[in-house]
Amino acid sequence: MTRSIRPSALRVGAVALAVLLGAATPAAAQPDPETIVNAFEAVLGPIRTHRPSHPKGLCAAGHFTATPDGTRLSVAPVFSGQRNTALIRFGVAGANPNASDSARGTRGLSIRFESPSGDLFEMANISAPVFGAMHPQAFVDGLLSRANDPATGRPNPERAAAYATYLAANPSVGNQGRYIAANAPPVSFATTPYWGVNTFLFRGQDGQVRPARWVFEPRAGVMRLTAEQMQSMGANFLADELRRRVAAGPVEFDMVLQFPGQGDDLLNPTIAWPDDRPRTVVGRLAVTAVEAGPGGPCDPISFMILDQAPGIEMSDDPILQARAAAYAVSLSRRVGGGNSPDPPPFSGTWELTAEVSSRTTSNGGGFGGGVLPRSYFFLAFTITPSLSSAAISASLNPRATSTSRPC
């Protein structure tokens, strides 16, 4: 049943989902999802108007088609070989929606794929091959080490010292920072690779389950800003540059799976696998339309439909396992106005599909620490926002203008 709801009801539903998701994952794998989001707020302030990570962004649309190898390696609908519509969000790192496009940091590529039969799959990728924490508690500790103590207005020195000791004992946590320091920002959203950083499990047509990570490699090649351009390009050039580029022709990325070798860590996203590991091109993403201004249909999406079982499933990477529940809490605070008893109304039409389902899967022998059943709980929201661009809405089929997601 579908019915119209107030944003406050949406907030309650998202919080309920976070509880379900948190209960579905072993407690040792993650702190409470509220704790994760509270750590963000300790550093950034209340999350009410925009997402806490990569809030400066741009909506786009296009399509994705698997290669024959993609169809061979995954039975998921997204890899059927048919064209999937794609709703895309490019983003700029940081917590500031006015962040500079020429500042060092990651750029983001988030995608919602929809198959001709309506199957959804989502992902969030960054322009660095590694993440900045190996497990959720370390992520929380890193945030809190930078948070100001309410009593002093400064970071707590004991907490900062404890985290510094942790970093010294776990040098891989600094790999993302070292990569960003060594690689200048891109000249375009279209000229940087975007990595998934976490391990997923792909079930092929032969029934074999293979662990893999992916990267979207730009067909235009990798191009980065010079030191002079970082000073001269200004704070807001990426959106207009992408609009001009797409107006001249589709912007394309190859989706490449990388497979691990002996001894590679499947569950630690702070360590990249060596470049000489086997790689296979499994699909091509084409960006064919870009929103004329800020906002758009990608804004209310958290890009957290992370599997299409049995073709694509999450590994037991604890960072990956923690994401959906924390994103559900974050979403609830944004669209629901936080903890206020009567949050402000939103423009557009908001609907909730009250559908809760669960399934239990197994990772298969040897992947992610052996056979470990997991239950996935989905509270599917259907949110229909106002569309601000005829180009975007024309490039998406009617189902893709509604968002249905576990967050």
pLDDT tens across 35-82, in order? 988 888 888 777 666 776 777 899 999 999 999 999 999 999 999 999
Closest by CA position to 126, among listed 241, 216, 246: 216
Residue range 219-226: average pLDDT? 98
* Residues above pLDDT 90, as percent of the chain: 50
Closest by CA position to 143, among listed 36, 232, 65: 36
Amino acid of residue 23: A
Give the active site residues: 54
Would you state the pLDDT for residue 286? 98
Q: Which CATH superfamily is domain 2-405 in?
A: Catalase core domain (2.40.180.10)
Which bin fits 134, alpha (ψ -120 to 50), beta or left (φ > 0)? alpha
Rg, the chain, Cα only: 20
Tokens coding 339: 């903890």
Instruction: Let me know: does 377 contact 21? Beta carbons within 8 Å.
Output: yes
Residue range 185-210: average pLDDT? 98
* Residues above pLDDT 70, as percent of the chain: 73
Would you state the pLDDT for residue 362? 33
CA dist 205 and 213 (Å) reads 19
Max Cα distance, the chain (Å): 61
The answer to which of 8-22, 150-164, 172-186, 295-309 has the lowest mean pLDDT is 8-22
